[in-house]
Structure 1
Amino acid sequence: MKSLLSQEDVELHIVIRDDGSTDGTMERLKIFIEQYPDRICISENENLGVVGSFFDLIGKASGGYDYYAFCDQDDVWNNDKLIRGISLINQMRPGQPLMYCSTTQMVDQYLNPLNIWPNSPEKPLSLYNALIENVCVGCTVLINEEALNMVRNKHPLNLENIIMHDWWIYLVVSTFGEVVFDSEPSILYRQHQSNALGGSTDDWMNKWKKRFKRFLKGQNHYILSNQAKEFMVVYAQEMNHEESNEIHKLIQTQQQNLFKRVIYIMMTPFYRQSTIDNLVFKMVLIAGKL
């Protein structure tokens, strides 16, 4: 909270949704509300989970602001996080949905530096990446009013099909606007055992062991295709023919035989950023578990 209130060169208002916490969060927040009653508003709500809670915040956000940013409860923002993001967004073409995100400086619970995460993407930030991979860390995201309105006015019909709110927003903005990725960390991204989601300090071997175990258990089967189907339901009318046709082909391929899936993967326009992640995507698609 202190790092948010210390942002330089911006007029900032903070909207907080408490997702049914029982750990004394509200008592600690009320201290800040008493100090900054005109800059902070908060609502106590029932537990909806990460995705539901953020979409509820999106729906309740007041209009008329130039930019909107997402924040997790345990990270520390650089003092110039917002103004740096604004300056990069302002270099893009106005009048369309725009989005900024960045790498993070991962730290332990005492703010000792660990490593930089994630790596800066080397391939374009387009629909053809966003449909099957999220490169945007939600707590670094800054969007303009056009992006917020596009997400808010076309609310997903079934939130169970949404993998994460930041992934959905990256998908929306990359399809209908532009995304800029900042290779300079904008926040200290705290890692500890109570993290709900987020980056990892695992080495590459442990990371892939965990991924393989999740796949064998079926934990991630069909999550990409389910989110793609939801995206088509919500935004098909706004998309151009080429993009909607490619998503349709990707979804339909999952229902076809092995030979047709192998043929499709040789010509698919969809990609992940790293070579090994791209290979895994193709293997999962061939297995019919996308």
Structure 2
Amino acid sequence: MIKVQVLLSTYNGEQYISEQIQSILNQTHPFISILIRDDGSTDQTIQVLEQLIKLHPDKIKLIKGTNVGVVSSFFELLRAADPEADYYCFCDQDDVWFDHKVEHAIVRLDSSIYTEVPAMVFTSTYLTDAELNRKGTWPKLPAQEPSFFNALYENIAIGATITMNRSARNLFINSKSVDSQKVLMHDWWFYLLVSAFGTVIYDNKPSMLYRQHNNNVVGGSNSIVGKLKSKWASFKRHTGKDLLHKQASEFDRIYGSRLTGELKEQLKLFLASRTRFIDRLHYARKSKLYRQSKAESLLFKFFILIGFI
């Protein structure tokens, strides 16, 4: 019996949460439980969830939390998760899963790696409007294989599509506590973590309908300037310091001593001071970090050379 636990963080999700949970209950894999943590909803989310729990008391459990934000909420779910589950799935509140999602993820993980190796699989999605009318697949097929060298610069793993094995969860919960304020997103953190110490698998077959509405619009302007503004706005906040650097520093604090070889070298190179132009030039020549787009990789190096990053 392969046990799977779905980790679902909710916040003011009354409109779509029932449909999402029903899609989880409809999975072809039979041994699934759902652990929900509500992040301090002020609408009727809790009441909707309590009604669902009455109907499925053996399948659904609820943690009523305070508002700590999406990253901390998912991290708390991981710590509270069933330690005997074989696999764990991140889940958002307003999407719809295909009934094969969990079963296909298990097949990919079981056939690709040993269970003691931290591993995760993520997939593409069908973008939809609020009524689930499909608008195309997202994201595009990665140009290069997932890797730690990519994860330091870019996240390509959509959290709601991620399934990880028990070893990946244990690597997280058995380490030092993470400062979630220094983590860009929970899915990005696990892309970093598993790519550093295990196996990351991309499946280009969509596993879910990724619902787009006013509160979760993906992307932005289609112009080059618009896209660049969107990217850098997510990296430059509050004090103006680069959150990519903060996230990498936090990863180094917790896991740096375990890294070896090129992974350790490249992380240290990324975190090294680059106040002088000669330092930035050295980094541009030696760095093996990359984004999936070659143009964006070159752009990153240019920004480093001029001291923007």
- TM above 0.5, yes or no, is yes
**2:257 matched to which residue of 1?**
237
**2:274 matched to which residue of 1?**
255
Instruction: Map Cα deviations across residues 70-90 of structure 1 (whole Å, 9 max, x no partner).
Output: 000000001000111111111
For the 8 Å contact 2:122–2:203, the answer to whether it is kept is: yes
Counting only pairs closer than 5 Å after superposition, residues 1-290 of structure 1 correspond to structure 2 as 1-94=21-114, 95-195=116-216, 199-200=218-219, 202-205=221-224, 207-208=226-227, 210-211=229-230, 214=233, 221-252=241-272, 254-290=273-309
Against the structure 1 CA distance between its residues 100 and 230, is the aligned structure 2 distance closer, same or farther, given a 3 Å change threshold? same
CA distance in 1, matches of 2:109, 2:221: 32
For the 8 Å contact 1:222–1:289, the answer to whether it is kept is: no
Instruction: Note the C-alpha offset of 1:108.
Output: 0.6
Instruction: Note the C-alpha offset of 1:123.
Output: 1.0
Instruction: Map Cα deviations across residues 27-79 of structure 1 (whole Å, 9 max, x no partner).
Output: 11112100100110001111000111111111111101110000000000010
Query: Normalised by the size of structure 1, how large is the TM-score?
Result: 0.92
CA distance in 2, matches of 1:245, 1:91: 31
Question: What amino acid is aligned across from residue 150 of structure 2 in structure 1?
Answer: N
Instruction: Note the C-alpha offset of 1:223.
Output: 0.7
Instruction: Note the C-alpha offset of 1:207.
Output: 4.2
Structure 2 alignment gaps of length 5 or more: 1-20
For the 8 Å contact 2:221–2:227, the answer to whether it is kept is: no
Question: What amino acid is aligned across from residue 181 of structure 1 in structure 2?
Answer: Y
Query: Normalised by the size of structure 2, how large is the TM-score?
Result: 0.87
Question: What amino acid is aligned across from residue 135 of structure 1 in structure 2?
Answer: I
Against the structure 1 CA distance between its residues 221 and 180, is the aligned structure 2 distance closer, same or farther, given a 3 Å change threshold? same
Against the structure 1 CA distance between its residues 216 and 168, is the aligned structure 2 distance closer, same or farther, given a 3 Å change threshold? closer
| RMSD over equivalenced CA pairs, Å | 2.0
Range with greater deviation from structure 2 (7-16 or 209-218): 209-218
Instruction: Tell me the secondary structure at the aligned position of residue 37 of structure 1.
Output: coil
Instruction: Note the C-alpha offset of 1:159.
Output: 1.5
Instruction: Note the C-alpha offset of 1:8.
Output: 0.3
Instruction: Note the C-alpha offset of 1:191.
Output: 0.6
CA distance in 1, matches of 2:296, 2:254: 27
For the 8 Å contact 2:37–2:62, the answer to whether it is kept is: yes
For the 8 Å contact 2:38–2:65, the answer to whether it is kept is: yes
**2:4 matched to which residue of 1?**
none
Range with greater deviation from structure 2 (272-281 or 98-107): 272-281
Question: What amino acid is aligned across from residue 68 of structure 1 in structure 2?
Answer: Y
Percentage of identical aligned residues:
35
CA distance in 1, matches of 2:141, 2:118: 21
For the 8 Å contact 1:10–1:82, the answer to whether it is kept is: no
Instruction: Note the C-alpha offset of 1:289.
Output: 4.0
Structure 1 consecutive aligned stretches of length 4 or more whose deviation exceeds 2 Å: 198-207, 209-221, 283-290
CA distance in 2, matches of 1:138, 1:235: 21
CA distance in 1, matches of 2:131, 2:259: 46
Kindly tell me the number of residue pairs found equivalent between the two proteins: 287
Instruction: Note the C-alpha offset of 1:156.
Output: 4.0
Against the structure 1 CA distance between its residues 215 and 59, is the aligned structure 2 distance closer, same or farther, given a 3 Å change threshold? closer
Instruction: Note the C-alpha offset of 1:205.
Output: 4.0
For the 8 Å contact 1:131–1:228, the answer to whether it is kept is: yes
